[in-house]
C-alpha cells in the first residue's frame, strides 16, 4: 500500500509544456546568398546538407547551402574578413 502523499502524486495529471515562442525562420529570399559563395566551417556545411538547417557564414549571412559553390564568386565581405584574420 502507498503512503497518502505518494498516492496523491500518482493521481495528479502530467504537466504539458507549451512553447511560448515560435522557432526563428531564416529569410532566404533576400538574394545575396544565391549570388555568392561564402566561407563557412566544413562541419557546418555537412550538417546543413544532412539536416537542412541554416548555417552562418564568416560575413554573417545565414542560409541553407544547396548549390555548388564553385559556380559562384566568393563573397567580398567573407574575403575581407578572412584576410583580416577573422575565423569562425
Residue 3 lies in a domain: no
pLDDT (mean) for 22-51: 76
pLDDT (mean) for 29-58: 85
Q: What is the DSSP string of the chain?
A: ---HHHHHHHHSPPPPP--SSPPPPP---SSHHHH-B----HHHHHHHHHH---EE-TTS-EE---S-GGGSPBPHHHHHHHHTT---
pLDDT (mean) for 24-30: 54
Give the model confidence (pLDDT) of 73-84 as tens digits.
Answer: 999 999 999 999
Q: How many domains does the chain have?
A: 1
pTM: 0.60
pLDDT (mean) for 43-66: 91
Residue 10 lies in a domain: no
Question: Given pLDDT bands bounded at 50, 70 and 90, which one contains residue 4?
Answer: low
Domain limits at 45?
26-88
Amino acid at each position: 500500500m502507498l503512503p497518502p502523499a505518494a498516492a496523491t502524486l500518482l493521481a495528479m495529471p502530467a504537466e504539458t509544456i507549451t512553447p511560448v515562442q515560435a522557432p526563428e525562420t531564416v529569410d532566404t529570399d533576400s538574394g545575396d546568398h544565391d549570388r555568392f559563395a561564402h566561407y563557412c566551417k566544413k562541419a557546418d556545411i555537412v550538417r546543413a546538407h544532412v539536416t537542412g538547417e541554416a548555417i552562418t557564414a564568416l560575413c554573417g549571412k545565414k542560409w541553407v547551402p544547396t548549390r555548388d559553390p564553385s559556380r559562384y564568386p566568393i563573397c567580398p565581405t567573407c574575403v575581407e574578413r578572412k584576410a583580416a584574420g577573422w575565423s569562425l
